[in-house]
Amino acid sequence: MTTDTRSFYERYQPYRRWVEIGYFVIHSLFQASINSVVVLLELDRINLGFATWQPIVWEFSSNLVHLALVPAVIAYERFFPLQYDQWRRSLPAHILGTAAYCLIHVLGMVALRKLAYSLNGMSYDFGNWPRELFYEYLKDWQTYASLLTIIYVYRFVLLRLQGEARLLDAPEDGPELEPVERPERFLVKKLGKEFLVAAAEVEYLQASGNYVNLHLHARDYPLRTTMASIEPRMDPGKFVRVHRSFMVNLDFIKEIEPLDTGDARILMKDGSLIPCSRRYRAALKG
């Protein structure tokens, strides 16, 4: 009998992509189904004479376009993260994002409705475009904001499970135990507990959105910084930048494979393959 000592976060990783996709798909289908029933009951109550399939087309066309826009919003948020130090740049971008989101949503759902109506031998009229666009925007900006809220709450939970790293601060009183500008350790906070990891044990660093992941002992600990900011603070005798998104610890390199393109591929001792671009290959050789 073997005991699985992996954390919940590590056991969740193989299913993570399916859970994330499944959540939005199920949520959209559930929302469309519930809204269709509500509209059908309302239309039946006031006897407007619409066919049963029509409100179903209205609701499913709207929610399917919302679903299709989820990856775009996630990608857009990575370019304009709503962080304290970037909110002046990001907030106006997201306000414009709500307008673009609404326009794409309306164009997409109207196209789907026109297609469905034509298949039933009818024509679809969206109505007065300025008025209807404004009406849709009043709903869509809330949908956009709700989507961002879900993204940030989910990310916060994952970071708590995974463990988030940060640089040690200078002490308020007394001498520094180690140079703050050249950290020897990182402080990792995980599920309310804190522990230290040695910088020398970090096998490689990888840029990931608003974070740089510190990879060690088959685990990644996100550090809220950029590769450009952390690079000068790592020991140049051990850590070398090999790619726009990667920095490696020389002690953990197993072999380097040159490629015909002038780039290279680095095999780490843990089996990870790290790309090395031509721009940084000379520095690695040195």
| pLDDT tens digits along 128-172 | 999 999 999 999 999 999 999 999 999 889 888 888 888 876 554
pLDDT at 120 over 90: yes
Q: What average pLDDT does this structure show over 85-107? A: 92
Which of 33-47, 183-197, 245-259 has the lowest average pLDDT? 183-197
In this prediction, residue 89 carries a pLDDT of 84
Residues of the chain above pLDDT 70, percent: 93
3-state secondary structure the chain: CCCCCCCHHHHHHHHHHHHHHHHHHHHHHHHHHHHHHHHHHHHHHHCCCCCCHHHHHHHHHHHHHHHHHHHHHHHHHHHCCCCCCCHHHHHHHHHHHHHHHHHHHHHHHHHHHHHHHHHCCCCCCCCCHHHHHHHHHHHHHHHHHHHHHHHHHHHHHHHHHHCEEEECCCCCCCCCCCCCCCCCEEEEEECCEEEEEEHHHCCEEEEECCEEEEEECCEEEEECCCHHHHHHHCCCCCEEEEECCEEEEHHHEEEEEECCCCCEEEEECCCCEEEECHHHHHHHHC
In this prediction, residue 2 carries a pLDDT of 46
Q: What average pLDDT does this structure show over 72-101? A: 88
**Mean pLDDT for all residues in the chain:** 89
Q: What average pLDDT does this structure show over 228-243? A: 92
Q: What average pLDDT does this structure show over 38-50? A: 88
165-222 pLDDT per residue, tens: 888 765 544 444 455 577 888 988 887 788 888 999 999 999 987 789 999 988 889 9
Domains of the chain: 8-162 (no CATH), 200-285 (2.40.50.1020)
